Each structure stands twice: as structure tokens, then as C-alpha cells.
Amino acid sequence: MCPLSPRMLPPVFRPVPLLLLLVALAPMQCGNKSQDPSLQREDTPGDALYTLAQDFRAKGNDAAYRDTLRYLVKQYPSSRRALAAKSELESDAAVEAGN
């Protein structure tokens, strides 16, 4: 009989070999974060906030649009959308100052 036979293990440990096999065969999903934004599969919080701000603007809710952009810039300054949000806020402020 094989020394690693499941019959020789106490009942509590019998599923362990199966679990180890499943873990070994599972695809690795972490640690493969690409720095190229075009290769990202999911939205970041900054992306989601920027999209939300654009939706507010399209619906005519300018206050929510500006508040959302400010929140994005404050909470996610390193987001790829933070620079665009900041420039939109600055251009909106310049337009308002000109009126």
C-alpha cells in the first residue's frame, strides 16, 4: 500500500490531497497587474468616478459633476483620470470666472 494513501490518513485529513491538487491547478489571478491602462480589464475607482461625473454632466447636474470630479482628484490623485478631472475643473472655473 502507498504511504500517502487516503485510507491511511485520519478522516479529517482525507480531503487535503484533493484540496492541494485543486489549488495547484487553479489559475493565478493575483500579481499580474499591468501598468498599461489599455490592458486593464476592470475599472478602477477613478475610472468609475470619472464616468459617473460625465453622466451627471450629460444629465445637466453640474453641481454633482463638479463634486464628483473634486472627490476623484482628492481621493485618487494618482488615478489615470485625475489629471483629466483636474483640468476639467480648472476649465470650468475659468469659464465661470469669465461670465
The domain spans of the chain are 42-98
- Other C-beta atoms within 10 Å of 72: how many? 25
Length of the chain (residues) = 99
- Other C-beta atoms within 10 Å of 81: how many? 23
Lowest-pLDDT range of 21-25, 26-30, 79-83, 90-94: 26-30
Structure confidence at residue 33 as a pLDDT band (50, 70, 90)? low
User: Residue 59 carries which side chain, given as an amino acid letter?
Assistant: K
The confidence score (pLDDT) of residue 40 equals 63
Average pLDDT over residues 14-35: 67
